């Protein structure tokens, strides 16, 4: 096994190549969290009164939770208490207000995005991806706005949406994830500074993939973005998000909220490649990724599909879920979560079947290496009126080495006897015989590990848009740090 | 220079000595067979040649094409042109057979400083080889060895050999688990690959395979030593008399 181990170690020593820091002037709030800070954030963004009111309500709710120590503790993750007063809740790159075009953007930020390989410039239109880029807390540029506007699709930063489409924001904000939902959702509602907003009008198929890249740059800040996507009747949209952060010794909090709403016959496909800084090989530093993502299939025949590839973050706590309200609506969750070194992930989904003949599919693949701890936590709930509901769950774990762990907590609750439930689960190890077989055919040990892992994840990668699937495969092999004892 | 030279090879697994001083020379163009009863060390020899790391070599040396084989990793030996057809081919879920074959071929080509082959050139070549082994195209899109029948797995090994075109092919009990038709097809594939540049080492328990793949030399391995070597007629003699006679000879006793 020795050179297999070496190969894995070699992979381990590949550096986190997105770990650079960009030197830009920033405009930030003083450390700490109180009503004044909420007012400061809201004022910075020239928000209408209803937003400030909502934020304050959320803040007061969060504060009551904080005082009663109601930060969630049920997940299979461990970290020292977070001092919420020791962080800054607003950081924005200093720039001229009201950008007319990309040319006015701080060239340093543009260079950062170039390093990240984001097709921010319009000339890269061939890539066919419209990008909203969120740098620290503020959305810096949204490409292809005009082209999308021609078909009536709104794709803009959350701040612009509040300014230009307050009626839509008011109608849908917090209707899927209310600020009372959980501790981190409340915190996000209080302090979120930006994010993306998408509205696809009736009958429109969004003509291109929409994409957001999130980047935490500043030190000692948290990032709290909020995404809201509404697909009106008969509309469809595919949305991708990617994320990176610099290497820093301290842990940084990322508490995002994503809300999806699909009306009659609408479809939303949401794909994530999460590559926040995972911490070093001893578990120092890294992002705490505490995220609430939920979609509501409100209309009949609607469909929401989540695909996630989670390779980054020191700790991941996230359960992209579907509320299947409309008759015949469909929820899907495809997930690859990789934990390595001292990374911890507690991730999975909730499928809540309310409407008749609702269907859901869950395919979760967990990979643990090094000292990584990987937990799948899923809930499938069939309500009383959900006649003919069906769920299929497949949940597989792959272990690399003998110091890591895989854990599975499926919760199933059925209140209608016509429901059909299927659950499959497996746990396997990368075998010495598999490694030897591939190496005997000429593959290097590290390529053999990558091949086995990619094969294991294939069912999920198939769901990703093409360019993302390729990126995800590369990311997996880079992230396969680990040491086999 | 011989293609393969094994000199006084000694191998342990845990605290048991399995090979107790093997000497064997194989020239390009030759096909040799290693025969022997169960537990005699045949598969150990095959695995050590392919550089499996769980075996501990305690003595001797192996030259492959003049290079020190024991200093090579499994992938280096493979890239130098050594191929092992596995007795128990391994499943790789989620990786298509075609993708696997092309990755392997390109790894070998890269090592040799050749350009990688793209799918456009690769697939027609692969289809030709499939025909030789009377294999269905569908096997290319299925995951490597997953849900393959025993016969399909063995044919798939020979297909890989045909694609990788090794200098030395080691066939480890390729006949086990094959019915007579599959055996014929596999042998046909192997025979088509015999050439003056290539050597083969056919490891088998039964003489049956050697009716189809006629070796130049036969070596009988008993308790970790080669106790007899001869021409193809030796295989027939073994079939006739069984291993027990030769085993007792090996132990120095007179035949019963």
* B81 inside 8 A of chain A by CB: no
Chain A residues with CB-CB distance to B50 below 8 A? 436, 440
**Helices B97-111/B150-164 angle, 10° precision:** 30
From the list A2, A438, A443, which residue is nearest B53 (CB)? Answer: A2
DSSP A147-209: HHHHTT-EEEEHHHHHHH-HHHHHHHTTSSS-TTS-HHHHHHHHH--B-EEEEE-TTPBPSSE
SS3 A25: coil
Which secondary structure element, helix H or strand E, spans residue A7, and what is its range? Answer: helix A2-12
Distance CA B235, CA B241 (A): 10
Most confident region among A306-315, A441-450, B157-166 by mean pLDDT: B157-166
Within 131-160 of B, beta carbons closer than 8 Å to A belong to 143, 160
Beta-carbon count within 10 A of B127 CB: 12
Average pLDDT estimate for A168-177: 95
Token readout for B218 is 């036969």
How far, in Å, CA of A239 to CA of A268, rounded? Answer: 8
Task: Report d(CA A377, CA A15) in Å as an integer.
Answer: 30
Tokens in use for B209? Answer: 């395979």
Name the nearest CA neighbour of A56 among A70, A36, A71: A36
pLDDT of residue A273: 84
Closest CA to A280 of A4, A10, A13: A13
What is the model's pLDDT at position B206? 84
Find how far residue B135's CA is from the centre of its chain: 20
Tokens of B170: 């080691």
Whether residue A456 lies within 8 A of chain B, CB to CB, comes out as yes
Secondary structure of residue A273 in the 3-state scheme: strand
Give pairs for B211-218: CB < 8 Å, separation 24+: B212/B183, B212/B184, B212/B187, B212/B188, B213/B31, B213/B187, B214/B31, B215/B31, B215/B32, B215/B33, B216/B30, B216/B31, B216/B32, B217/B30, B217/B31, B217/B32, B217/B33, B218/B32, B218/B33, B218/B35
| pLDDT at A483 > cutoff 50 | no
Please say whether the beta carbons of A14 and A478 come within 8 A.
Answer: yes
Average pLDDT over residues A37-52: 90
- Pairing state between β A196-200 and A154-157: antiparallel
By CA distance, what is B103's nearest residue in A? A443
The two structure tokens encoding residue A46? 């020239």
Q: Which of A321, A296, A320 is nearest to A309 (CA)?
A: A320
Q: Chain A interface, mutation test: which of B44, B64, B74, most A Cβ atoms within 10 Å?
A: B74
Over residues A427-454, the mean pLDDT reads: 91
Q: Whose structure tokens read 């699709």?
A: A153
At A82, phi and psi to the nearest 5?
-90, 130
A462–chain B nearest CA distance, Å:
11
Q: Write down the mean pLDDT value for chain B.
A: 91
3-state secondary structure A348-393: EEEEEECCCCCEEEEEEEEEECCCCEEEEEEEEEECCCCCCCEEEE
Q: Residue A440: list chain B partners with CB under 8 A.
A: 50-51, 74-75, 77-78, 83-84, 86
Asked if B107 lies within 8 A of A444 by C-beta distance, the reply is: yes
Residue B121 neighbours by CB under 8 Å, 6+ apart: none
Q: Which residues neighbour B230 within 8 Å (Cβ) at sequence distance 6 or greater?
A: B217, B218
Q: For position B119, what pLDDT does the model report?
A: 83
Q: Cβ–Cβ of A441/B90 closer than 8 Å? A: no
Smallest Cα distance from A434 to chain B, Å = 6
Nearest CB to A452 within list B51, B92, B160: B92
**CA–CA dist A397, A476 (Å, integer):** 15
Task: Identify which of B74, B100, B111 has the shortest CB distance to residue A440.
Answer: B74
Check whether B180 has a pLDDT greater than 70: yes
Report the pLDDT value the prediction gives residue B54, as an integer from 0 to 100: 86
B34-68 residue pLDDT tens: 999 888 999 999 999 999 988 999 999 999 999 99
Q: What is the mean pLDDT of residues B16-23?
A: 94
Query: Could A458 and B54 be called an inter-chain contact, meaning their C-beta atoms sit closer than 8 Å?
Result: no
Sign of the four-CA dihedral A317, A320, A325, A328: negative
pLDDT, greater one: B137 or A323: A323
Q: Does A441 touch chain B (CB under 8 A)?
A: yes
Which tops the pLDDT comparison, B150 or A485?
Answer: B150
Give yes or no for a contact between A144 and A122, defined as CB atoms under 8 angstroms apart.
yes
Q: Is the pLDDT of residue A126 over 50?
A: no
Asked whether the beta carbons of A286 and A345 are under 8 A apart, the reply is: no
Q: Output the CA torsion sign for A96, A101, A104, A108.
A: positive
Q: Does B53 touch chain A (CB under 8 A)?
A: yes
What percent of chain B stands above pLDDT 90?
Answer: 68
* pLDDT tens sequence across B156-173: 999 999 999 999 999 999
Judge whether A434 is closer than 8 Å to chain B, CB to CB: yes
Confirm or reject contact between A427 and chain B (CB < 8 A). Answer: no
Question: Of A221-225, A384-388, B120-124, B131-135, which one has max mean pLDDT?
Answer: A384-388
Rounded to whole angstroms, the Cα distance separating A218 from A278 reads 16
Q: Which residue has the higher pLDDT, B242 or B217?
A: B217
Residue A485: pLDDT over 50: no
Q: What pLDDT score was predicted for residue A297?
A: 98
Tell me the average pLDDT across A87-93: 72
Q: Is B124 on the interface with A (CB under 8 A)?
A: no
User: Which of B73, B78, B92 faces A451 most closely, judged by CB atoms?
Assistant: B92
Q: What is the mean pLDDT of residues A294-309?
A: 96
Asked if A455 and B104 come within 8 Å (Cβ–Cβ), the reply is: no
- What's the rounded Cα separation, in Å, for the pair A430 and A400? 6
Q: What whole-number distance in Å separates Cα of residue A422 and Cα of residue A246?
A: 42
What are the distances in angstroms from CA A110 to CA A93, A106, A364? 12, 7, 36
What is the residue-averaged pLDDT of chain A? 83
Residues B201, B37: Cα–Cα separation, whole Å: 17
Quote the minimal CA–CA distance from B164 to chain A in Å.
8
B179–A contact, CB cutoff 8 A: no
Q: Is A426 on the interface with B (CB under 8 A)?
A: no
């Amino acid at each position: 096994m020795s050179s297999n181990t070496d190969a894995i170690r070699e992979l381990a020593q590949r550096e986190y190549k997105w770990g650079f820091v960009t030197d830009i002037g920033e405009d930030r709030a003083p450390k700490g969290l109180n009503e004044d800070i909420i007012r400061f954030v809201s004022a910075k963004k020239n928000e209408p009164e209803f937003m400030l009111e909502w934020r304050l309500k959320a803040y007061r709710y969060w504060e009551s939770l904080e005082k009663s120590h109601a930060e969630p503790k049920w997940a299979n993750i461990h970290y020292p208490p977070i001092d919420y007063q020791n962080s800054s809740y607003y950081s924005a790159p200093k720039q001229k207000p009201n950008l007319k075009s990309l040319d006015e953007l701080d060239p340093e930020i543009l260079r950062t995005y170039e390093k990240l390989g984001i097709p921010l410039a319009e000339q890269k239109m061939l890539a066919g991806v419209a990008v909203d880029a969120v740098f620290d807390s503020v959305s810096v540029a949204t490409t292809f706005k005009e082209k999308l506007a021609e078909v009536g699709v709104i794709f803009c930063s959350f701040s612009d949406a509040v300014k230009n489409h307050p009626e839509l924001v008011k109608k849908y904000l917090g209707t899927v994830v209310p600020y009372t939902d959980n501790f981190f959702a409340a915190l996000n509602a209080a302090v979120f500074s930006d994010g993306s907003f998408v509205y696809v009008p009736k009958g429109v198929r969004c003509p291109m993939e929409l994409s957001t890249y999130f980047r935490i740059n500043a030190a000692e800040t948290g990032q709290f973005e909020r995404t809201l996507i509404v697909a009106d009747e008969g509309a469809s949209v595919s949305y991708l998000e990617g994320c990176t952060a610099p290497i820093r010794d301290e842990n940084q909090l990322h508490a995002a909220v994503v809300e999806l709403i699909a009306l009659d016959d609408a479809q939303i496909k949401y794909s994530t490649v999460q590559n926040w800084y995972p911490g070093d090989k001893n578990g120092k530093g890294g992002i705490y990724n505490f995220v609430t993502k939920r979609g509501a299939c409100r209309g009949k025949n609607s469909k929401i599909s989540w695909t996630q590839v989670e390779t980054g973050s020191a700790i991941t706590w996230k359960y992209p879920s579907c509320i299947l309200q409309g008759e015949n609506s469909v929820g899907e969750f495809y997930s690859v979560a990789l934990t390595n070194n001292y990374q911890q992930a507690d991730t999975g989904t909730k499928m809540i079947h309310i409407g008749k003949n609702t269907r859901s599919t869950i395919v979760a693949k967990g990979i643990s290496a090094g000292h990584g701890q990987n937990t799948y936590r899923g809930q499938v709930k069939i309500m009383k009126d959900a006649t003919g509901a069906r769920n299929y769950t497949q949940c597989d774990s792959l272990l690399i080495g003998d110091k890591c762990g895989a854990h599975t907590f499926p919760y199933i609750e059925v209140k209608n006897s016509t429901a059909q439930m299927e659950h499959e689960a497996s746990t396997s190890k990368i075998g010495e015989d598999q490694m030897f077989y591939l190496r005997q055919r000429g593959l290097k040990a590290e390529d053999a590990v990558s091949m086995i892992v990619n094969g294991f994840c294939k069912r999920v990668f198939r769901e990703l848009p093409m360019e993302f699937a390729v990126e995800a495969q590369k990311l997996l092999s880079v992230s396969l740090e680990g040491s086999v004892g | 220079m011989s293609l393969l030279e094994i000199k006084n090879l000694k191998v342990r697994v845990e605290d048991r000595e399995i090979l107790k001083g093997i000497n064997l020379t194989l020239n390009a163009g030759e096909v040799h067979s290693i025969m022997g009863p169960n537990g005699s060390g045949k598969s150990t020899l095959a695995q050590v040649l392919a550089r499996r790391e769980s075996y501990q070599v305690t003595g001797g040396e192996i030259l492959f094409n003049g290079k020190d084989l024991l200093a090579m990793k499994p992938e280096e030996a493979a890239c130098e042109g050594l191929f092992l057809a596995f007795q128990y081919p391994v499943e790789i879920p989620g990786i298509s057979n075609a993708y696997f074959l092309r990755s392997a071929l390109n790894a070998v080509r890269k090592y040799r400083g050749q350009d990688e082959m793209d799918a456009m050139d690769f697939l027609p070549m692969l289809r030709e080889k499939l025909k030789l082994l009377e294999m269905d195209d569908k096997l290319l899109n299925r995951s490597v060895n997953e849900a393959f029948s025993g016969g399909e797995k063995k044919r798939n090994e020979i297909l890989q050999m045909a694609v990788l075109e090794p200098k030395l092919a080691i066939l480890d009990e390729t006949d086990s688990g094959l019915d007579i038709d599959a055996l014929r097809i596999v042998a046909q594939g192997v025979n088509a690959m015999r050439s003056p540049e290539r050597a083969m080492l056919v490891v088998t328990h039964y003489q049956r395979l050697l009716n189809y793949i006629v070796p130049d030399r036969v070596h009988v391995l008993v308790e970790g030593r080669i106790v007899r070597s001869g021409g193809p007629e030796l295989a027939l003699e073994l079939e006739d008399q069984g291993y027990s006679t030769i085993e007792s000879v090996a132990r120095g006793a007179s035949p019963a």
